[in-house]
Amino acid sequence: MTLLETSGLTRQFGKLVAVDDVDLLIGERDIHAVIGPNGAGKSTLFNLVTGLLAPTRGTIRFKGEDITGLKPHQIVHRGISRSFQIADLFEGLTVEENVRVAAQSLDEHRDSLVRRADSLEEPRRRAREILEDIGLADLAGTRADALSHGDRRKLEIGLTVATDPELFLLDEPTAGMGKEESIQTVRMIRRVADERGITPVLIEHDLEIVMGISDTITVLNEGSVLATGTPDEIRGDEAVQRAYLGTGGPA
């Protein structure tokens, strides 16, 4: 089943075409990676899908429904969440409070000024459960601004999970991590996605991680799709090797 589909998706900034006529298919439960050199349009593509930018032209469909031009909060409530390349956290709140606030976004009474005291129990329960899943339960009472870089990245993944998405977009989730911590984080992402029935789409710079975790890889170059295929197909694609991986291909 196709979960997300873009057709002719394009975004221009003046004369610069950052995303150029991109057709993308994300299958349900398919671990899909988007790779490409700096400036290829990867983060702009994520910004279009999540409503942070409006496309110049083209359409975005989620579960068959046209979501083109919807606001970010409307897209979140349809089941799409994302993390950013630079962690975006509530610095003065604890780890648990960060996740609880994200979980509260699902509450239909979240904007009400009058609430029952026990109305926060379900978001608290979800927050504790998610912290167990992402390996941060022991740091539940720690302020976010006191976390290590790797734990901050994990917490941001927890925030995306807390909104109960069907699709989550992760922008370089292992950026700045060492090799072992990166591998552990990727394993955690796969496990959480499998256990919760979430489809992950990753922008990732580490080719070893991409080749090891992905079912499907899309390569962007200068805003356009250069190739889409399995890791083996991408590894053997001469155009990809010339444009991104180098003539020798990935190790």
**Tens-of-pLDDT digits for all 251 residues of the chain?**
899 999 999 999 999 999 999 999 999 999 999 999 889 999 999 999 999 999 999 999 999 999 999 999 999 999 999 987 656 788 999 999 999 999 987 665 444 444 444 567 889 999 999 999 999 999 999 999 999 999 999 999 999 999 999 999 999 999 888 889 998 999 999 999 999 999 999 998 888 889 999 999 999 999 999 999 999 999 999 988 887 655 544 43
Domain ranges of the chain: 1-79+165-251, 86-164
Residue 220's nearest CA partner among 68, 32, 30, 29 is 32
Name the maximum alpha-carbon separation found in the chain: 63
In this structure, are residues 162 and 103 in contact, taking their beta carbons and an 8 Å threshold? yes
Q: Considering the domain 1-79+165-251, what is its CATH architecture?
A: 3-Layer(aba) Sandwich (3.40)
Which residue, among 153, 24, 4, has the nearest Cα to 86 in the 3D structure?
Answer: 153
